[in-house]
A and B are shown apart, each in its own frame.
Chain A
Amino acid sequence: MTDTSGTSGVGGGDRFEPRITAFVCNWCTYTGADLAGTSRLHMASNVRIIRLPCTGRIDPLFVIKAFERGADGVIVSGCHPADCHYTAGNYHARRRFAVFHDLMGFVGVDPARITFSWVSASEGAKWRDVVNDAVSKVRELGPFTAYRTLNDHNVSADHFDWVGELAQASLGEGGEA
């Protein structure tokens, strides 16, 4: 099966570059990531950030959707407990993520593919570490092609490659939809 995860930045050449989607809260982690950028910290560039108001808004379906659409790994990050901008959003998220984390492990998704973290607005360096760590762990695990092509045995062997190629092409050409 053609590896359709493709290259996405750092390094180039033949090394597999994972695609990581990060769901982060606006007030802490997003700002922390911004700080990492303005501080010119060096980190892997494989991560696409999706900003939400709060980790309490993150539905496990977002993570599942990310895997369906080609993410090899996911990061979920927000404010530390007691620091939530909306007071208790991250407390609700914490329980939800705990159950989600345990269930995904139970059904065979390697826990190393999903990273949960608390990163505050001042923790640019921590964000760098979380990102680099997630990228290297997922690179080691390899592309998560198995998920998005889950036993689609009704189609001819090269069908998904065709669709995947298009996904590649459309993303590469600036995502014109």
Chain B
Amino acid sequence: MQELRDLARQLLADETVDVVVGWEDSPRGARPIFAATPDDAGKLIFDTRCLHDLATYLNPRRKQVTDLGKLAIVVKGCDAKAVAGLLREAQLERDRVVLIGVRCGGVCEDSMAPEPVALTPETVAPRCFGCDNREPRLVDHLVGEAQPEPPGPLLSLDERVAALDALTPEQLWEYWTAQFDKCVRCYACRQVCPLCVCERCVADKSRPQWIETASHPRGNFSWNVTRALHLAGRCVGCGECERFCPSGIPLATINRKLQLVVEERYGYRVADDPELKAPIGDFRLDDQQEFIK
């Protein structure tokens, strides 16, 4: 992606930024790179393996990143929504980051493939289905050629949610407790999520301890449910939580469920517009209350 490399070199050369955060090719497929030199800028790529939501590096608590100086970051549409979320919540100031938007036609499921992966229903990541932001708007620069819509996946997140919605409470309990049994409380889901930026996560609070920290299913239930709730209306559907989970828990399905809930109840769809008010923290006098006696 020569356009991206040239832009990065220029931003570094005229000292607009100190570091350009993007992707490089590596022995582990596509992975993040913090390009601070023209040589490093020459390594920037963008292909279907670039799944990572680089907005996670904008977490103001990541001292090792803020120490690098002013950043430019490469963002896909979903990543730009995450940046908008951080701006909306005053975790970031707009003039402290340069956003390089990239036109995206979808990503595959495996960032570590040795070569870019052609997208088919078998290979495309379920998170891409229904994407409405293939040309991100919240950007200072936009690179790349227009991309076709990604193919539909074999099984979309919405289909998974719908299948679960059709089950009885007993079946759902059995399914989710078995999933949460696998959780080892590494908090990878939280660490990678671009919107999980709290200086002190409620899970780390110990006086009092609200969320049991031991990794038995009861504690895991509390953690996973709470995290999903704290992301309601904020989750951008980047799918990284599920990808990072070393135990293979379908976290993107839970977060997608709540995305659908806020869409259905409050007409809210997350977008890369920082002026758009998030649904939780806002209210209308005529909000739905069918579940309240």
Contacts and interface: CB of A to CB of B under 8 A. Distances in A.
A61 B258 contact: no
Given A98-B289, A108-B171, A88 B221 contact: no
Interface in A80-109: 81-82, 88, 91-92, 94-109
Q: How many A residues are at the interface, by size bracket?
A: 35 or more
Nearest to B260: A102
A103 B225 contact: yes
Nearest to B286: A81
A91 B285 contact: yes
Contacts of A151: 177, 181, 216-218
Contacts of A95: 265-266, 279-280, 282-283, 287
Nearest to A147: B218
Interface stretch (B46-54, B67-75, B162-170, B236-244): B162-170
Interface in A84-136: 88, 91-92, 94-111, 115-118, 130, 133
B211 A101 contact: no
A81 B212 contact: no
Contacts of B261: 98-99, 102-103
Contacts of A98: 261, 265, 287-289, 291
A94 B280 CA distance: 10
A59 B280 CA distance: 13
B63 interface: no
A95 B278 CA distance: 12
B293 interface: yes
B173 A109 contact: yes
B91 to A, nearest CB: 21
A146 interface: yes
Contact of B176 (A88, A99, A108): A108
A99 B292 contact: no
Contact of B222 (A64, A94, A97, A102): A64
B279 A106 contact: no
Given A150-B218, A152-B216, A103 B228 contact: yes
B161 to A, nearest CB: 8
B226 interface: yes
A57 interface: no
B289 A94 contact: yes
Given A98-B261, A118-B293, A151-B181, A110 B287 contact: no
A172 B106 CA distance: 60
Contacts of A111: 169, 291
A97 B285 CA distance: 15
A154 interface: yes
A60 interface: yes
Given A82-B285, A88-B283, A60 B229 contact: yes
Interface in A53-73: 59-61, 64-65, 68
A77 B261 CA distance: 22
A81 B289 contact: yes
Given A92-B283, A150-B216, A101 B291 contact: yes
Interface of B: 164-165, 169-177, 181, 202, 210-212, 216-218, 221-222, 225-226, 228-229, 232-233, 254, 257-258, 261-262, 265-266, 279-285, 287-289, 291-293
Given A99-B265, A103-B257, A149-B218, 18 more contacts: A61-B222, A88-B283, A94-B287, A95-B265, A97-B292, A98-B288, A99-B229, A99-B261, A99-B280, A103-B232, A108-B176, A108-B177, A109-B169, A110-B169, A116-B292, A130-B293, A133-B293, A151-B181
